[in-house]
Structures are given as structure tokens and as C-alpha cells.
Structure 1
Amino acid sequence: MKCIRFEANGNKRIGFIDGDVVRTVYGSLETFWRITDEVFRLENVKLLAPCVPKQIICVGFNYRSHAEEFHAEVPKEPMLFSKAAHTIIGDGAAIVYPWQSKEVVYEAELGVVIKKRMRNVKPEDVKDYILGYTCANDVTARDLQLDDVQWLRSKSFDTFCPLGPWLETDLDPTDLSIKTYLNGELKQNGRTSDMVYNPYEILSYISESMTLDAGDLVLTGTPMGCGPMVAGDVVTVEIEGIGKLTNTVVKG
């Protein structure tokens, strides 16, 4: 099922896609909800980012190919960092290139959205805590990332976490094609089977240290091939079984 947050007639709603229409639901995507009588044509709604997380937890060098291209060792355990929650934007929204940076890069990632509060969950039980999967772009000011001791600033400029176009709830995340196109040219071309730690292992590991709440977002790493963008570029992240997330870069 493709679950969405969307705007129609000036109001924000949640729902799911049924063919070429959107069926509105009452409640929240993370908790119990019921279908309403409101139906919209998909072409007439504006898609919003599919979740509004309290926190975004990310994993570095989680693809073997990405670690190799940076001449880095494969992590002995998931390497965690965070992005600020205000970085979230949806499909079609603009990525703002900050004046503080001279090198902003795209990083295609599989995003995992949490369904219910999880703490100390074993890998084999993690599926019960996943609401769905989405395309994400872990936009990064690479020069600032290399200059700073911590990565928070380089990862957390406004608009630096495009997300969408929706949540896919019925998906096996362990062997999916993940690609990035820049102005139509293929730049990243990997598979989630190249992950050092799969999504179930990652979420379990995180839950051993901190609580994840409903709606929180976990980004699971990027394959090799991430590279720079400039104002005017159009970047698309495509993940098998989910869809395409497209954003344009604008000057800040």
C-alpha cells in the first residue's frame, strides 16, 4: 500500500493511493485510522513529505561500495549520526544550496519510518515496528562535513532531507535497486543487498541505545557514486518497489 501525506483544497490530509485516486483516511498513518468518504484525483493533490519525524537517525558507510570509494574500513558496527528534523521536504520541493558551502552532494538512501515506539527490539522482531519505506536524499555540504568535527551542520541545512513520494508498506528491503539521476544522467546505481547492516539489524541496533517513536525516520546509507550538485540541477532518487523522488536545486 502506498500511504501519503498530501494537500488538497488548501488542507493537509493523509490517505492512500488506489489506482489513480487518493482515498482520505482519518487519524494518523502511525496509528489506527478509518477510511473517509473523501476521494481526490491523484493528479489534483500536492504530495507532501510522507512523515514528520521527531528525529532522523542515519547510518554512515553502510554500503560496502561506498566505503571502498572513500578508502574507508567497513564499520564493525553501524556508524550512527543524525540530521535535524526541519530538513524534511517532499517530492517536487526545492533543495536550497546554502551560501556557506561550496560543495553540496546528493546521497540516495532507503528511508524507514517507524510504526510504533521501539526499544531493545531484536532484529527478528523489527518488522512489526516498521510502518513503511520511502526514497530519501541525504543532501550533504561535503566541504563542511570534512571541516567540522561533527556532521550535524553539514547534514542539517533546511531542505537537506528530501523524502517521498510516499510510504510503501509492503516491501522486502533487503535487495532493491537504488539509483540517482542528475539531470537525467545515471550517477548512483546500487542494490540494498550491498548494505553492511540490513534495515532490521540497523533498527535493532539503534533501539538498544535509544527509543524510536512512531513517525521517526531512519536513513540506511548510500551506495557509491554520490556527487556534487549546483543550482539548476534536477536530482531524482529511484528505489525499486517504491518510486521516484525528484527535486530541483536552487541558490540560497
Structure 2
Amino acid sequence: MSEAAVLRIESLWAGYEPGLSIVRGASLEVGGREILAILGPNGAGKSTLVKAVAGLVPVSSGCIWLAGREITREPAHAMASLGLGFVPQTENVFTNLSVSENLELAAALQRVKRSRLDHLYAQFPDLARQRSLLAGRLSGGQRQMLAIARALINLPQVLMLDEPSAGLSPRLVAEVFRVLRDIAAQGIAIVLVEQNVKAALAIADRAAVLVEGCEKVVAPAAELAGDARIAELYLGRHVEAQP
């Protein structure tokens, strides 16, 4: 593990059923203030990988390290207190609770001070204006912001997100990704699973392309954005490199 890495995934095998691994020997790491985009075709194991790290999918072998501590088989409910925030693609807020109730519940569960909520409202002014509104009545972008705010309630060292742009308009995608860039600038490492390759590469520092549950290419995002290998590995077809 490099000195700068805060999260390390080493030779990880994981899947929902015994003997049927979806993640097959993946090894990745991400440093503080870094955004790592995880890309790949449907079925490549991207979401399964981050769910395994979050304790939601059984790991059959391999290791996961967070800030020097092994968390491979820690239960999902303990991850937040260990410094790992996770925003799933769906069901990431309580729609029958208000914005403030969602955040207050997260704060109570993590035993953080009330002042932390004030900081989050300052960071997410849209939520502050809508704090009494039921989360189910928020726009898609606002709901995603609330999910991110909930995951940030106890200042995690690593924030993982599964398809945060799903179902959002290009304008809202740009807004959500701007917020993620700001979060990374505060020192929080971000692991971002995305189907929107162009948008992900635009904000990521590095990107990993998963194929059949294992990383095939890991490189700076700017390098991959102009590399024909992305088309070959991600789309499954060969495209001549641009001059």
C-alpha cells in the first residue's frame, strides 16, 4: 500500500452466492483528495465491488484496508464509524421523512454534534432551503445531494458512490459532480462507479476499467479520455485512436 493510499483493495473475490464470484481478483487503491472512477461494461462487477467494500456483499478472499486498518469482514453497519461513507444507487434516503429528519437521524446514529448539521446545510444550501420538505418530494438532483450529505455526516475518509448520475439531467449531473469535486478538495477520497464515462472522466483523477470482475486498465483519467482502449474495453469494440 502506498503511503498516500487511504483505501486499498487487494486481490478481492466477492459475490452474492457461494462459488459464484462477480468480483474476481480486483486490486485498487485511492488516495486522499483523489477521485477514482470505476468504469466498465454492464456486468463487469463495478457495483458489486463497492458493495463488497461496504460490507453488503460477501467476500470469499482478498483484503480491504482503510487508513491502515483491515475492514474486509466488518459488518455494513460499522463502516460509517470506521470512516467509510457509501451512497447506493437507489433507496439512499428515507422518502417519508423530511430533509432535516433524514440528516438528524444520520447524526443520531453516528453520534455527531449538532454543529455538523449546520456545516452540511452551509455546504448544501438547496437542502437548507428545503429542510422541512419530505425527501420523496425532492427533485432527483436534490435527493442525490441529500444522500451525499447523509453519507458525509461523520466526515468519512472515503466516500463511495454507485451511479450517482443515474436518471439525472445533464445539468443536474454537472451540479452533483461539482459537489463531488469540492468534497475531494476537502481531503475526502472518492470512489465513483459510473456509466456516464465522459462525465466521470471529466472530474476523476484516475480511472479503472473493470472487465469480468477485475481491473484491466488503471490510468490517469485525462489519459484514458483520449485512449481508444476505453472503447475497446468499455464498449466491447475496437475504435481507432484519434490522431
Give the TM bin, normalised by the shorter chain: under 0.3
When you count strand as a share of all residues, which structure comes out higher? Answer: 1
Q: TM-score, normalised by structure 1?
A: 0.24
When you count helix as a share of all residues, which structure comes out higher? Answer: 2
